[in-house]
Chain A
């Protein structure tokens, strides 16, 4: 039977969705990131031009998004490891909220340093 968003609308499920989306986004980003770093060896001038482009505000905003995703994925991953390897803790929803708050805080700290 088709089940809509309905029964999935609870914090632990949203945490799972965010963890999967952020994990996939990071996996897509990583090869691009490594390719750009490799330019330091292959073509330093092109790397410099690229780095100049990344100074733009739009790129900075996109980077902040990636930083938030990485922080959210790390917090979510640590939360899952704690859930599965430590004795059960009743405060699962509080932990999800703390993880989300951590991710947002890391993103804001990045933005403060970026401009």
Chain B
């Protein structure tokens, strides 16, 4: 934040204040070279209103905690440069969609992670796994499928942009299903059929309409739509074979 102000002068930042019934308030922030949206929000909190609530940790796109709605689209604010998103010197910052607002820009991620648990998004050790190192061939189809989805950092961007989550609050959403798909394909896991059954149950993988907004917006470049399609296919085959 020590760089000299760029010639462009000031940025107008509209920030959501309050809970679900809150409103946008407008702040003026000096423009800097390479300024991110997170920098602008931080400036407001440090210099204008210390009561502003928001989250961040790493500032470099690793932790996933800084996700917010920037000009209507969910983004990692630490990796979103003001110059890329500002329209006529204005940026509008709101909390992530599809999650309860705690206050200002901070949302309650509990439903997101509860659904992660509902989709059985945790590794189940197998008895054999305790015997030594598991050997998984890097080019096996399972390993490739798991690798393709494993870099998720749980930021909630895909969950916020998914309209099916907005329309059906029961829908487990792209991140949890993407995680379930990596476990269904994890040959070390002790309950792969259980992961598949959990992902297909209720408003699970079959509720997805393949809009691909999740894949379009995941900042890590993952493709939850492809993972969910894999789950749909595998669950279909399992159902034909008489799985519960």
Binding site for B on A (CB under 8 A): 1-4, 6-8, 10, 12-13, 16, 80, 83-85, 88, 92
Task: Give Cα distance in the complex from A104 to B73, angstroms.
Answer: 32
Residue pair A84, B233 in contact (C-beta under 8 Å): yes
Task: Give Cα distance in the complex from A12 to B229, angstroms.
Answer: 14
Task: Give Cα distance in the complex from A7 to B220, angstroms.
Answer: 17
B209 CB-CB contact with A under 8 Å: yes
Residue pair A13, B212 in contact (C-beta under 8 Å): yes
Sample of 17 A–B contacts (CB below 8 Å): A1-B16, A2-B72, A3-B72, A3-B73, A3-B97, A6-B73, A7-B161, A7-B216, A7-B217, A8-B163, A8-B213, A13-B212, A16-B210, A84-B232, A85-B233, A88-B226, A88-B229
Task: Give Cα distance in the complex from A15 to B69, angstroms.
Answer: 24
* In the complex, chain A residues whose CB is within 8 Å of the CB of B72: 2-4, 6-7
Residue of A nearest to B229 (CB): A84
Contact with A along B135-178 (1 / 0, CB 8 A): 00000000000000000000000000101000000000000000
B80 CB-CB contact with A under 8 Å: no
Q: Which of A3, A6, A8, A13: most chain B CB closer than 10 A?
A: A3
Docked complex: B202-238 residues within 8 A CB-CB of A? 209-213, 216-217, 223, 225-226, 229-230, 232-233, 236
Q: Which of B16, B69, B95: most chain A CB closer than 10 A?
A: B69
Residue pair A12, B223 in contact (C-beta under 8 Å): no
Tell me how many residue pairs across A and B have CB atoms closer than 8 Å: 57
* In the complex, chain B residues whose CB is within 8 Å of the CB of A8: 163, 211, 213
Residue pair A83, B217 in contact (C-beta under 8 Å): no
* In the complex, chain B residues whose CB is within 8 Å of the CB of A3: 69, 72-73, 97, 161
Take A84-B232, A88-B223, A88-B230 as given contacts and tell me if A1 and B95 are in contact as well, using a CB distance cutoff of 8 Å: yes
B121 CB-CB contact with A under 8 Å: no
Binding site for A on B (CB under 8 A): 16, 69, 71-74, 94-97, 101, 161, 163, 209-213, 216-217, 223, 225-226, 229-230, 232-233, 236
Residue pair B213, A13 in contact (C-beta under 8 Å): yes
Instruction: State the majority secondary structure of interface residues on A.
Output: helix
A84 in complex: contacting residue of B95, B210, B217, CB < 8 Å: B210
Task: Give Cα distance in the complex from A16 to B69, angstroms.
Answer: 23
Q: How far is the CB of B18 from chain A (nearest CB, A)?
A: 12
Take A3-B73, A6-B71, A7-B161 as given contacts and tell me if A83 and B216 are in contact as well, using a CB distance cutoff of 8 Å: no
Residue pair A1, B216 in contact (C-beta under 8 Å): no
Residue pair B217, A12 in contact (C-beta under 8 Å): no
* In the complex, chain B residues whose CB is within 8 Å of the CB of A10: 212-213, 216
With A12-B211, A16-B210, A88-B230 known, 17 other A-B pairs at CB within 8 A are A1-B69, A1-B94, A1-B95, A1-B97, A1-B101, A6-B73, A7-B73, A7-B74, A7-B213, A7-B217, A12-B210, A12-B213, A12-B216, A13-B212, A13-B213, A85-B233, A88-B229
Task: Give Cα distance in the complex from A44 to B107, angstroms.
Answer: 65
Task: Give Cα distance in the complex from A60 to B233, angstroms.
Answer: 41
* In the complex, chain A residues whose CB is within 8 Å of the CB of B230: 88
Task: Give Cα distance in the complex from A88 to B229, angstroms.
Answer: 8
Task: Give Cα distance in the complex from A3 to B161, angstroms.
Answer: 8
Take A1-B69, A85-B233 as given contacts and tell me if A80 and B210 are in contact as well, using a CB distance cutoff of 8 Å: yes
Take A84-B232, A85-B233, A88-B229 as given contacts and tell me if A12 and B212 are in contact as well, using a CB distance cutoff of 8 Å: yes
